[in-house]
Structure 1
Amino acid sequence: MTTPLLISLFPFLLLIPALCFSICHANSNVLCIQSEREALLKFKNHLIDPSNKQSKLEGKINPSLLELKHLSSLDLSNNNFSSIHIPKFFGLLESLTYLKLSQAQFHGAISHNLGNLSKLQYLDLGGNNLKSKSLQWVSGLSFLQYLDLSSADLHKANDWVQWIFSLHGLVSIDLSDSSLEGPIPDYFGNISILEVLDLTGNSLNSSIPNFLYSLNRLYAIGNLSSVTYLDLSENQLNGQIPLSIGQLSSLELFDVSENQLNGQIPLSIGELSSLELFDVSENQLNGTFPLSIGELSSLKYLDFGYNLLEGVVLETHFSNLTRLTTLAASHNRLRFEPNSSWIPPFQYVMPTWFLNLPTQFEYLNLSSNQLRGEISYLNVSNFVDLSSNRFIGPLPRVLPTLLVLILSNNSFSGSLFELLCNSSSRKWMVVLYIDKNLISGNIPDCWNHWQGLDLLNLGSNNLTGKISPSLWHLNLTMLNLRNNRMFGELPSTLQNSLHLVMLDLSENHFSGSIPAWIGDKLSNLAILSLRSNNFDGHIPHKICDLQFLQNLDLAHNNISRVIPKCFNNLSAMATTNKTNNFVFATFVVADFFFLNALLVLKGREDEYGSTLGLVTSMDLSANSLTGEIPKEIGNLLIGNIPESIGNMELMESLDLSMNRLNGEIPPSFSNLNFLNHFNVSYNNLTGQIPTSTQLQSFDNLSYMGNHLCGPPLTKNCTAKGIPTDIANNGSSSEGRKVNSPYVSLALGFVMGFWGVVAPLFFIRSWRIAYYRKLDHIYGKLYVFWATMGM
């Protein structure tokens, strides 16, 4: 009797002299057929094992496999065949019932010859760099039960529904991340035993079709009672979740997160007695949170965060959720007001007053709510995010194993000493955010044992004193101490922080000169903000060596002398491919946390998160800089407008106002066709503003306080580019004698103007409130105009 052969290269079993044992029957009386033995030797000789560990094999796949007439199972997954296509001769292996080629680095078009494998039951091509314009070839796989084409490029395969769902025996379908586009049709065919359907990460843009829920409609796919896994997340689906979802009685996983669904969560969700995961996060769902959720006794994971749900969450909502391990509900409009005697039926989620229980948790995220009270101890082992609440009192004690602690935007007070110094070793913590609180005192000098810390944000508190010497024992990617009351010169030990990508010391009282070693040692800096301090001296030429610098803010200091001509070496400010800048890859910590930064762009302060790597700016305003604007800056800014304005990646903002710059605006500035904020006001610039450029689109205020002429200013130029009033009178209008009524008028204007503007200029809280009010008024006007235009 002939025994079917099975070949697996994960792990690599084709070892000599154990070759025959690997592919032949265990019966010692059965010997390897000589032709098959030779075929396998040829197959093996064309493979390369670079690690010498029988893993990640390379090389070529020899057609000698065709001599294995009874080969039924072939597994070449998890290898590195990056230089070859899937061999066409695979379509001649007629006995195959199992073919697994996943994560093997195959590329190119999927061979239609695979459609000849009429006995195939299992086909896994996922995780390769494959593509197909049509899936008609699958129609020949009439016995197929498992199909995985994940990560293939199927955006041209408009016939995917027609051919895949003609296979009535399919139990599992994985088409995730396969570039599918358009709507999901409302008819898939008659697939009565389907259990898994994964369409995650595509560009499907219809509503969820009713056939996925209906059991009785004639045109639906039949009895879907056996479906256990339904994942449609990360698409562009709209519409509502149908009431008939409750009829999927065997459903264990339901994930429609990151879509555009609206309406309410159906009450029928409570009928899904087998449901273990329910994720509808990042949609536009509204209404109240249904009480029927409390009937899901099998539920382990519940996420309805980032929606528009409102109302009160009751204890009844969680009455039978005894197996719940994860609950994410942030960024809604919900209130949870449990009775103080309530004991949750689960172990891992807790209301505010529940934070001090002795039970140890792994993950806690209660961010962006209105929770209040004091917290003495956080018994959480891995991740804590309590940001954007109303917690008060001293900082809580935490476990030494904690990786991420985010307490931003609360009202915690007191010092940092207890958290930083009177605790066990913190060598595991990666992220520490305590910004936007009421923390006071010095930063303690006890950072020696925080070896793993990557992101440190202590901004917007009431911290005083100098920078702690031991702070530079850390191997930080980001340090943010902005908006405190710290002082002193920058310590030389800062140059030991070689991996810094972002350094923000703005809005403090630091003094001294900007050290040259910032450009020499901190070579990975992408964001450098020393704004609103007392730095003096000149801009060191070494800053020009920062090849990754994209945001430079030295505004509102006492810096003097000229702008270095070497600024044209700041190549990252001109590159059009910032998403590939490797330093911004460090902004992602453990795949769930993005670095954010407050940047002053276009005259206002805004926070940037996931798009931070696309923003470019330079602000040198309100200093004592002298000399001409170097033409080299114009060379730095040269670039083209990308095809999609949404992907515009070149410099957006340049502010050189309130200095002592002289000379003309260099003609090379004619290439500034990508800026949306430009300000050179209150300098000593002369001559004509370069014409036929975007410079004419900026407001007159961007040029006032100079001796400039030409559009957008009303002051005309002579043929030599000199303002007419200077050419005609030999001096500027500011130098002419004027009558006393005009003096009085000017003084009145100045007093009135600065009576309003000065507080906005010098008082930060007034300035922020003013901009917010303008945004509010603009929002109302926009709604009015939009309504009138309907």
Structure 2
Amino acid sequence: MDTLYSNLLNPPYISHFLLLLFLASSYLHTSSHFCFCLVDGVPSIGSVRSCIEEERSALLSFKQDLKDPYGRLSSWVGRDCCQWEGISCTNRTGHVAKVDLRNPCSYDDEEGTYYNQSWLGGKINRSLLSLKYLNYLDLSCNYFDGIHIPKFFGDLKSLRYLNISSASFSGEIPPSLGNLSKLNYLDLGNSFYNTRSFEMHSKNLNWLSHLSSLKYLNLNGVNLSTEVPNLLHHVNMLPSLLELHLSNCFFESPPLSLQKINFTSLSVLDLSFTPNFDLYLSNNEVNTSSFPSWLFNLTSLRKLDLRWNSFGGPFPDELASLKSLEYLDLSHCGLEGQLPASLGMLKSMQHIHLSWLLLWGSIPASIGNLSSLKTLDLSNSNINGSIPESLGKLSELVRLDLSANPLEGILTEAHFINLTSLKICHIDNDGRPMPLVLNVAYDWVPPFKLQELGLEDFRIGPGFLGFLQSQTELEALSLRRAAILGSIPDEWFLKISSQVEYLDLAYNNFGGRLPFQLKFPKLMFIFLDHNQFEGPFPLWSSIAQILDLQSNLFSGPIPSNLDQLMPQLTYLDVSENNLSGTIPPSICNMKYMNTISLRKNKLFGEFPQQWSLWSEISIIDVSHNNLSGNIPSSMGIPSSLHEFKANNNNFGGEIPFSFQNCTHLAILSLGHNKFTGNLALRLGSNLSTLVVLGLRSNLLSGHIPHQLCNLVYLRTLDLAHNNFSGTIPKCLKNMTSLVKADAPFMESELSNIYDGQTTIMSKGEELDYGDYASFYWGLNIIDLSSNNFEGEILEQVGSLVELHTLNLSMNQLTGEIPSSIGKLRWLESLDLSHNHFSGHIPQNMSSLTSLSHLNLSYNNLIGRIPSGNQLETLNDPSIYEGNPSLCGAPLSTVCPGYDTGHIVPAEDLSKDDDEVFWFHVSMALGFIVGFWVVCGTLVLKKSWRYAYFKFFDNIKEKVALTIALKLARWQGKL
């Protein structure tokens, strides 16, 4: 105490003490508690302060109207509101200055979607007006379910910061916001997700020009379509503006002209997605516009984002005037032409995104002058030619993406020599026939350690394996279609095993045995297909989601505990290998399984009984094995099934009735088995999504069920080589996909990465066709051959104008070939052989210009074979053999009217046939008419009959007398 007392008497301490007393007097007015204490022997004044009562009550009223399902405001209790979550007070006065209730959410750039983790909702109470000193309000990333922005926000005159972005507000932006003259930061932007659900708009932006202090403005996703003419005028009234974000604002293109630029201090400009993003997604035509010239006056710009705009014309050379530019994104803009060498003048540039343009020519060598460049993305922009060696100068380059371009030339060490910062490298030539060549020395050690490497459609020299072994920090690797020979050392797999997540070595010539027991703790995507790997297939990762081993030499059984070794698998393709044994029942326990293909192996035994446990299964392909037994349905068939292929096995019994529950089924291929029963009881109207129905070479019987005619998506109907009977249904004309060129198409089925093969009989041979677009659009087939169908082909067959193959051979069909068959303009294959067709071959079959396979043999057809057009190319006599009454080329039988010195045209030959026919008809009619004219008259008229017979009696007497006289004279002479 003596020391303290003596210290207080010293002049410096006296002055400090008096100062503290002065400060204490001001604290007493705003604090509910006050203390006088010593800190390190020095007197100090402290406070245990709660906020002002009026403001605390206002916050509680505000909380009362909010929805808080996650308890984020649970700390809002007690007297001291300055300690509550999201509340900050000024140190001097204790007034609430900041309300920050931003929801901790994340944004997905690819999806354009915010994911709310712990949102607030409800209503916004006017009690906020009691917070007179509030200068910061952030309610962003919450969920206010489409309510309007409160008009009273315009009365919060002290606000300098207002952020209500992506909070699900809707309606018109209140013009009262123009009263916030102190506002520096205004963010009203909506995410794309919220834009579709809760649209905000502004009919008049006059209020904007009053915010003269504004430095940051974000109106992303706000509908400004009615304000396009005045938009720049209002923005031009904001001289302090540093950042402007107008992405996805529903106007077609940025305004092109502006007489005077006032916002020259602008450093960030985002006008991306200017032509409504949905227009691009729906492939509608979008009018192009010129590149706005006023942009080149914004010499302070550091970031310019114009992706997804509708600009036309050449790539602007004037961009070189923006010397301060650090970030440039013109992706998806429609710009065309050659990249100018002037790009090399942008010495401050760090990030260039120019993907999906219509460029031509090579990358300018001046790109090597951009010493600060970190990102160069020219993917999918049609860049061609060779890659300049100057690229190797970019020592700051982190990401290089030249994928999907028709590049050529040779890459050597010089292209990479100084890329010491490179982490991501993607280069390919988009599958073109003249690939890039990577030619580096085997002992060359690159100056970088990559995290991602994609070299697709390359021709890679022998030194690459040495290059690859130096990359031990890879997280993603794709060497698809790189024509690499040899085997990869086990040591390299070991080096990358701890961190690699994506591995694609598909379509190469890798061989040898893989390290079977090696563990990859982070590997999720494995593509080793179309190589020559041997041994048991690798069970590398317990978190793998995709395992594609198609077309290799893997052998042995499928592990019985695969569900435990790889429980996360969603996609398994081990087709076209040498796997043997049975399908383990435990495979059905893989609850995430979406696609499984075991096609073309040596598997035997029965199909797993509990396949209904696959709740997410979409595609099952077990075709071309030696499986047997019945297809189980006791526990039901997964309703999620899109494709089921079990053809070319030894399955028997009846087709399970529960396939009717598969309301998304597009492909059902069960051909080449031993299925029995009546199809009418197996197919219901629920299978409305069926595109391919393949049941050939089974033991099925009965009539074709009329339900087939209601399958509007059906493109391939193959019922050949069964015991079906009855007539061909008239209702086949209702199969929309075979009748209309613009028939509906199952586009939703194209999203799956599996593009397997379906076995189809076409043009007289069995072929494997790829699924999806190339298959659905390319094969429209009806094959009913080798059954017991009878009756005639009706004229309605001519309505199936989209048909490519029609095979009705080896049945009991009768009647004539309908002339309407000449309307099938896309018909490529027609087989009507081994039936009982009669009559002439329709002449208009010569109009089938796509026809390349025809068989009409072994019927009862007559007359001349039509000629002309496409039929002239089908000159194989076997097409028409077994029809003894046919004549003409290509048969050796000569038709009447055929002059050996002159080939009579087809139309004349047809005319001769008609003349012979009508000649015989006229002779018959003449005989009948003449007979009844004479004989009918004698029957009906008695007097004529007497005269007629009397005349013949007289004639008879004269003839007898003449003969008697002649005989008498002859005897006299003897």
TM-score, normalized by length of structure 1? 0.74
* 8 A Cα contact 2:204 2:227, kept in partner: no
**Partner AA of 1:435 in structure 2:** S
Q: 2:170 aligns with which of 58, 70, 79?
A: 58
- Describe how 1:208-357 pairs up with structure 2 within 5 A: 208-213=339-344, 215=345, 224-291=346-413, 292-307=415-430, 308-314=435-441, 319-322=446-449, 324-335=450-461, 337=463, 338=465, 344-348=471-475, 352-353=488-489, 354-357=492-495
Q: In the alignment, what sits opposite 1:440?
A: 580
**Partner AA of 1:132 in structure 2:** S
Q: Per the alignment, in what secondary structure is the counterpart of residue 492 of structure 1?
A: coil
1:499 paired to 2:640: yes
Structure 1 CA distance, aligned partners of 2:596 and 2:373?
A: 43
Q: In the alignment, what sits opposite 1:153?
A: 275
Quote the offset at 1:311 in angstroms. Answer: 4.7
Q: Per the alignment, in what secondary structure is the counterpart of residue 321 of structure 2?
A: coil
Structure 1 CA distance, aligned partners of 2:756 and 2:583?
A: 22
Structure 1 CA distance, aligned partners of 2:184 and 2:375?
A: 32
1:112 paired to 2:229: yes
Deviations 1:270-292 (A, max 9, x none): 11111111111112212222313
Quote the offset at 1:127 in angstroms. Answer: 4.0
1:530 paired to 2:670: yes
Q: Per the alignment, in what secondary structure is the counterpart of residue 40 of structure 1?
A: helix
**Partner AA of 1:260 in structure 2:** N
Q: In the alignment, what sits opposite 1:178?
A: 309
* 8 A Cα contact 1:330 1:367, kept in partner: no
Quote the offset at 1:500 in angstroms. Answer: 0.9
Q: In the alignment, what sits opposite 1:405?
A: 547
Change (3 A) 1:658 1:268: same
* 8 A Cα contact 1:109 1:131, kept in partner: no
Deviations 1:279-320 (A, max 9, x none): 111122122223132531211111113551225454566522
Structure 2 CA distance, aligned partners of 1:193 and 1:712?
A: 83
* 8 A Cα contact 2:842 2:866, kept in partner: no
Quote the offset at 1:675 in angstroms. Answer: 5.3
Structure 2 CA distance, aligned partners of 1:327 and 1:712?
A: 67
Structure 1 CA distance, aligned partners of 2:102 and 2:865?
A: 72
Bigger relative contact order, structure 1 or 2 (CA pairs below 8 A, ≥6 apart): 1
Change (3 A) 1:496 1:634: same
Deviations 1:393-412 (A, max 9, x none): 11112222111111112111
1:479 paired to 2:620: yes
Q: In the alignment, what sits opposite 1:167?
A: 298
Structure 2 CA distance, aligned partners of 1:71 and 1:616?
A: 64
Structure 1 CA distance, aligned partners of 2:770 and 2:197?
A: 41
* 8 A Cα contact 2:819 2:844, kept in partner: no
Quote the offset at 1:524 in angstroms. Answer: 0.6
* 8 A Cα contact 1:59 1:81, kept in partner: no
Q: In the alignment, what sits opposite 1:367?
A: 506
Q: 1:135 aligns with which of 235, 244, 256?
A: 256
Change (3 A) 1:131 1:457: same
Change (3 A) 1:476 1:695: farther
Quote the offset at 1:72 in angstroms. Answer: 4.0
Q: In the alignment, what sits opposite 1:16?
A: 125
Q: 1:607 aligns with which of 758, 770, 789?
A: 770
* 8 A Cα contact 1:627 1:660, kept in partner: yes
Q: In the alignment, what sits opposite 1:704?
A: 856
Structure 2 CA distance, aligned partners of 1:712 and 1:60?
A: 79
Q: Per the alignment, in what secondary structure is the counterpart of residue 188 of structure 1?
A: helix
Q: In the alignment, what sits opposite 1:465?
A: 605
Q: 1:490 aligns with which of 631, 646, 653?
A: 631
1:74 paired to 2:186: yes
**Partner AA of 1:321 in structure 2:** F
Quote the offset at 1:635 in angstroms. Answer: 9.3
- Describe how 1:693-772 pairs up with structure 2 within 5 A: 696-699=848-851, 701-705=853-857, 707=859, 714=866, 734=883
Change (3 A) 1:401 1:341: closer
TM-score, normalized by length of structure 2? 0.61
Change (3 A) 1:390 1:632: farther
Quote the offset at 1:227 in angstroms. Answer: 1.1
Quote the offset at 1:187 in angstroms. Answer: 3.5
* 8 A Cα contact 2:169 2:198, kept in partner: no
**Partner AA of 2:696 in structure 1:** A
Q: Per the alignment, in what secondary structure is the counterpart of residue 487 of structure 1?
A: strand
Q: In the alignment, what sits opposite 2:204?
A: 89
Structure 1 CA distance, aligned partners of 2:793 and 2:686?
A: 17
Structure 1 CA distance, aligned partners of 2:788 and 2:291?
A: 64
* 8 A Cα contact 2:824 2:848, kept in partner: no
Q: Per the alignment, in what secondary structure is the counterpart of residue 164 of structure 1?
A: helix
1:620 paired to 2:789: no
Q: 2:556 aligns with which of 409, 414, 421?
A: 414
Change (3 A) 1:320 1:656: same
Q: 2:596 aligns with which of 434, 451, 456?
A: 456
* 8 A Cα contact 1:477 1:502, kept in partner: yes
Structure 2 CA distance, aligned partners of 1:453 and 1:676?
A: 39
Change (3 A) 1:336 1:606: farther
Report the number of matched residues.
676
Change (3 A) 1:341 1:658: closer
Q: Per the alignment, in what secondary structure is the counterpart of residue 285 of structure 1?
A: coil
Q: In the alignment, what sits opposite 2:91?
A: none
Q: Per the alignment, in what secondary structure is the counterpart of residue 424 of structure 1?
A: helix
Structure 2 CA distance, aligned partners of 1:258 and 1:559?
A: 51
**Partner AA of 1:564 in structure 2:** P
Q: In the alignment, what sits opposite 1:564?
A: 705
Q: Which moved more, 1:327-336 or 1:273-282?
A: 327-336
Structure 2 CA distance, aligned partners of 1:352 and 1:733?
A: 61
Q: In the alignment, what sits opposite 2:66?
A: none
**CA RMSD after TM alignment:** 4.3
Q: In the alignment, what sits opposite 1:200?
A: 331
Change (3 A) 1:701 1:403: closer
Deviations 1:20-61 (A, max 9, x none): 48895459xxxxxxxxx99426899xxxxxxx9993223333
**Partner AA of 1:111 in structure 2:** V
- Describe how 1:770-785 pairs up with structure 2 within 5 A: none
Q: Which moved more, 1:226-235 or 1:693-702?
A: 693-702
Structure 1 CA distance, aligned partners of 2:673 and 2:824?
A: 30
Quote the offset at 1:685 in angstroms. Answer: 4.9
Change (3 A) 1:306 1:15: same
- Describe how 1:387-402 pairs up with structure 2 within 5 A: 387-402=529-544
Q: Larger Cα Rg: Structure 1 or Structure 2?
A: 2
Quote the offset at 1:388 in angstroms. Answer: 1.6
Structure 1 CA distance, aligned partners of 2:847 and 2:406?
A: 41
- Describe how 1:651-730 pairs up with structure 2 within 5 A: 651=802, 653-660=804-811, 662-663=813-814, 672-673=824-825, 679-685=831-837, 696-699=848-851, 701-705=853-857, 707=859, 714=866
Structure 2 CA distance, aligned partners of 1:572 and 1:107?
A: 41
Unaligned runs of 5+ in 1: 28-36, 45-51, 216-223, 639-650, 717-731, 744-790
Quote the offset at 1:552 in angstroms. Answer: 2.5
Structure 2 CA distance, aligned partners of 1:293 and 1:129?
A: 43
- Describe how 1:27-46 pairs up with structure 2 within 5 A: 39-40=151-152
Quote the offset at 1:392 in angstroms. Answer: 0.9
Structure 2 CA distance, aligned partners of 1:507 and 1:7?
A: 69
Quote the offset at 1:390 in angstroms. Answer: 1.6
